[in-house]
Chain A
Amino acid sequence: MTRQDIPLLEMRKMSVSFPTQSGERIEVLSEVSLNIWPSEVLGVVGESGSGKSMLTFASLGLLPKTGRASGEVRLRGEALHAQHKRRMSQVRGREIGLIVQEPTPSLNPVRRIGSQLAESARHARIPADQIKSASIRALDEVNLPAEVLGRYPGELSGGMNQRVAIAMVLLQNPGVLIADEPTTALDVTTQYEVMQLLEGLRVQHEMGMMLISHDLGVIKAMADRIAVMYRGHLVELGTTEDIVSRPRHPYTQTLVASAPRLHPIEAAPLQDSGCPLLPGDPQLSDDHDHPPTLERDRRHVVWCWDAHHGHAR
């Protein structure tokens, strides 16, 4: 069974670089280390270009060919290597489920929902004679009727397609779920329903979860801990309460201050911290070597190049 003392998914010093037109490589993810512990929700927040989606792609070996990744991924302690294509394809879906932003394009438009669910079921080694009943059960779990099996993705709404995508993940019953902007393309009310659904299923299926979003409000509603990413770097990691109420890194402070609210607050003017937020400082690599005990203690960690902000407090 799940051991509580080792992470479900451990990402250590994950880096990703892409070539530019001039032939140099630019780093879009720099030595990011994160753990997902059993039954926790880890929120990853960042704006465009923060590298938050790269983390998923690199961990699952899904980078485009030109991308180069380094770092170590461990699933329940077992080291995964992107080169081991067979093992990776077993892991994807069966052990790590993935839900992405745009459900409609991620489904094959010319195949019925039923046949796409069946494929997931086969991937999960569900016996042929049980595939249909398993598919109906999975649809039921996401509150969709069985007749959806005969429909095409184009006939369903965005919210329904996202439910189908969740049902596909459920069929495989993975221990870890990575949800990358799962509700960004949806209407507010649908977003709320899908979030509630995800939370219910996460509890029921005892999944650990990484929820990636640009929207701190969405992250806050669900996450136990929040990792803040900025330009490829992990800049702050702490409990949800700490990050939202006591952000320490100047970038996190900006993020919290500019988060949309129904009752706008008069944000205290941010002091210019002088934090250059530039890579290359030797402190960075030291910080990223922090021991996992720090995370288990759920402590608040800040990575900054400015000595005033210090680190690991």
Chain B
Amino acid sequence: MKKFSWTSGLSLFVLALAVLIALFGPLVFPGDPNLVDLAKALRPPVWAGGTWEHWLGTDQLGRDSFLRLIHGARVSLGIAAVATLLGAVIGTLIGMLAGYLGGWADALLSRLIDIQLALPVIVLALAVATVLPPSVISIVVIIAVSTWVSYARVTRAEALVLQNSEFVALSTVAGLRLPKILGRHILPNVMPSVLVMMSMDFGKAIVFEASLSFLGLGVQPPLSSWGSLIADGREFIIAMPSLVLIPSIIVAVVALSANILGDWVRDRIDPSLGAVSAAPRAELGGTR
């Protein structure tokens, strides 16, 4: 088992801080992130000659960058969390059903996965974005649509192994019905893999949301996420680089922390409990 290293500790701290800010930041630092004051437009951060009144500066409309980042955290992390969960739930459910039921259900799912894998995610996202109006919900849907496949693939493979395992056969013999077999025997045994994938996907979802918002397919004003902050600031990248750099660095650091933590989760979860394989091979000192 991998030790809890200082990098994991730091990542946990960063992520916890981000979540706390997202949850309570707006209460601790009251103020309207959308308050326009053109007189104060494009103020630099305090270290570049700005004032403490707007310590991270202001944007082209004079809105306070710090407040916008705090409110953006809510949107960015909220979307990432909901989208990750949605993708995981849908993918796991479909994967388990396909793997357990086999037959036509499995054939259908496998084709669906093949099709999805043949489509580049970004093209799919653009396609969905043209159908759905840009909104928080569309972003959640787009991210979930692009992540569910990996859950479906992994859980399908594990459910297939489990379906052939003796204890699942015995629960059929016991007369348990499908929901109980799935919930009690399949789900707990695919859960470790799902958790690992979710912790990895959370970081990806933050970046994905930022990319979509940057492309203008995501969060629409007056709401702003970290991604839309970057998008808004790009015109001023020379005049006021902090407008782009600060949210970019925050996205990068939070996503990196989520990934490092995901690695840790993966190593923590005992691989021997991951999937129940067939008869275990010879142990030390004996063959039976």
A residues lining the B interface (CB < 8 Å): 18, 28-29, 46-54, 101, 180-181, 184, 214, 232
What are 10 A-B contacts with C-beta separation under 8 Å? A28-B284, A46-B286, A48-B285, A50-B285, A50-B286, A54-B284, A101-B282, A184-B287, A214-B286, A232-B285
| Residues from chain A with Cβ under 8 Å of B287 in the complex | 48, 53, 101, 180-181, 184, 214
Taken together as a complex, chains A and B put the C-alpha atoms of A107 and B284 apart, in Å, by: 21
Taken together as a complex, chains A and B put the C-alpha atoms of A29 and B284 apart, in Å, by: 11
Among A47, A48, A101, the one with the most B-chain Cβ atoms within 10 Å of its Cβ is: A48
B177 within 8 A of A: no
A183–chain B nearest beta-carbon distance, Å: 11
Taken together as a complex, chains A and B put the C-alpha atoms of A146 and B73 apart, in Å, by: 72
Taken together as a complex, chains A and B put the C-alpha atoms of A29 and B285 apart, in Å, by: 9
Taken together as a complex, chains A and B put the C-alpha atoms of A57 and B287 apart, in Å, by: 13
The answer to whether A54 touches B288, judged by C-beta atoms less than 8 angstroms apart, is no
B283 within 8 A of A: yes
B residues lining the A interface (CB < 8 Å): 282-288
Closest 3 CB pairs of A and B: A48-B286, A48-B288, A28-B285
| Residues from chain B with Cβ under 8 Å of A47 in the complex | 286, 288
| Residues from chain A with Cβ under 8 Å of B288 in the complex | 47-48, 184, 214
| Residues from chain A with Cβ under 8 Å of B286 in the complex | 46-50, 52-53, 214
Taken together as a complex, chains A and B put the C-alpha atoms of A52 and B287 apart, in Å, by: 9
Taking CB as reference atom, which chain B residue is nearest A180? B287
The answer to whether B285 touches A51, judged by C-beta atoms less than 8 angstroms apart, is yes
Taking CB as reference atom, which chain B residue is nearest A67? B284
| Residues from chain B with Cβ under 8 Å of A181 in the complex | 287
Taken together as a complex, chains A and B put the C-alpha atoms of A47 and B285 apart, in Å, by: 9
A14–chain B nearest beta-carbon distance, Å: 13
| Residues from chain A with Cβ under 8 Å of B285 in the complex | 28-29, 48-54, 232
Among B285, B286, B287, B288, the one with the most A-chain Cβ atoms within 10 Å of its Cβ is: B285
B284–chain A nearest beta-carbon distance, Å: 6
